[in-house]
Amino acid sequence: MMDALSDDGSDVNQDDTQEDVMTPAELIAKLEEAWLNEKFSPELQENKSEVVECVMEQLSHMEENLQRVKKGDAKASIHRMEIDRIRFVLSSYLRSRLQKIEKFFPHILEREKSRGEGAPSLLSPEEFAFAKEYYANTETYLKAVALKRMPPNLQTVDMLKAVPEPCLDSFVFLRVKERQENILVEPEADDQREYVVDLEEGSQHLMRYRTIAPLVSSGAVQLI
């Protein structure tokens, strides 16, 4: 039993076939970053399928090991608590993505359509299937309860116009992880002028999402 649990740390590291080698602890930190960014950003972020898959792998690996442990083991209960915590973050992350997909589905699908060959997709394959199905179900449902009773020329609804777009001009709270210079702040009123700010490492700010959106996806700032 001892071996089952104690060789975990080293063993998993070698398993990691990702291009950049990440320790499991770094992986969990990545997941938490993605979780908070997804929670606070007005639009859907790029999918982090590799992170999600790696975390899942870690979890099932750990669970397998725990199966071999006899009941009432002190270490096992601590491992289980950790697994529960990670699983909570993971499902909260995935759930907040699904919520956004439900909220903005026509726009997200439209972006998928216009995505260039080879450009990374916003959605994981599963999320893409979900979005498509959600679209189809909503359409079928609206047709069944209302639209089919309308005059023929009014039986379609343009989902792209009917469902509001994410508002990129929303404000967000953020913490700076890598120093940024000369971030342009657009004026709020006509009598103001635009100006630039430097974002120092570790400082916290309240500003428009649009201004710093690229920094969120590059990981230079963390939404809080």
Partner 1 sequence: MAPKQQGGRVVTQQTRSLLNISVNILGIQLLSTSFGYKMDTLSYLPVQPGVGMEENFLSLDDILLSHERLPIRTECSFPRLGFLEKSSDTKDITEGTKMELPLWLSKGLYEKKRRVLSVELPKIYKEGWRTVFNADPNVVDLHKMGPYYYGLGSQMLHFDSPENPEIAQTLLQTFIGRFRRNMDSSQNAYNEDTSALVERLDCLEKALFTSGQSGLNSFQSWEKGQASQLTASSLVLNYRKRKINDLQP
Partner 2 sequence: MDASEVEFLAEKETVTIIPNFSLDKIYLIGGDLGPFNPSLPVDVPVWLALNLKQRQKCRIVPPAWMDVEKLEEIRDLERKEDTFTPVPSPYYMELTKLLLNYASDNIPKADEIRTLVKDIWDTRIAKLRLSADSFISQLEAHAKLDNLTLMEINTIRTFLLDSLNCMYKLRSNLQPGSSKGQFKDF
Query: Where does this chain bind partner 2 (CB under 8 A)?
Result: 2, 5-9, 12, 24-25, 28, 32, 39-40, 58-59, 62, 74-75, 78-79, 81-83, 85-86, 88, 92, 157-158, 161-162, 167, 169-173, 185-190, 192, 197, 202-208, 224
**12 contacts partner 1 (rule: CB under 8 A):** no
Q: How many CB atoms lie within 10 A of CB 86?
A: 20
Q: How far apart are CA 8 and CA 15, in angstroms?
A: 11
- Written as six digits, the tokens of 174 are 């953020």
Residues whose CB is less than 8 angstroms from the CB of residue 150 and which lie 6 or more positions away in sequence, other chains included: none
**Residues between 88 and 127 that touch partner 1 (CB under 8 A):** 88, 91-92, 95, 98-99, 102-103
We find the least distance from the C-beta atom of residue 130 to partner 1, in angstroms, to be 8
Q: Which does 220 bind (CB under 5 to 8 A by kind): partner 1, partner 2, none?
A: none
Question: Which residues is 173 bridged to in the sheet?
Answer: 206
Identify the DSSP state of 156: -
Confirm if 106 and 160 have CB atoms less than 8 A apart: yes
Q: Smallest gap, in angstroms, from Cβ of residue 178 to partner 2?
A: 17
CB of 161 vs partner 1, minimal distance in Å: 7
Name the residue nearer to partner 2 (CB basis): 38 or 127: 38
Closer Cβ to partner 2, 99 or 170, answer by number: 170
User: If contact means CB under 5 to 8 A according to the sort of partner, which of partner 1, partner 2, none does residue 142 touch?
Assistant: partner 1
Name the residue type at position 122: L
**In which element (H, E) is residue 29 found?**
helix 24-40
CB of 195 to partner 1, least distance (A): 21
148 binds partner 1 (CB under 8 A): no
Is the CB of residue 51 less than 8 Å from the CB of residue 31?
yes
**Distance, C-alpha 158 to centroid of its chain:** 27
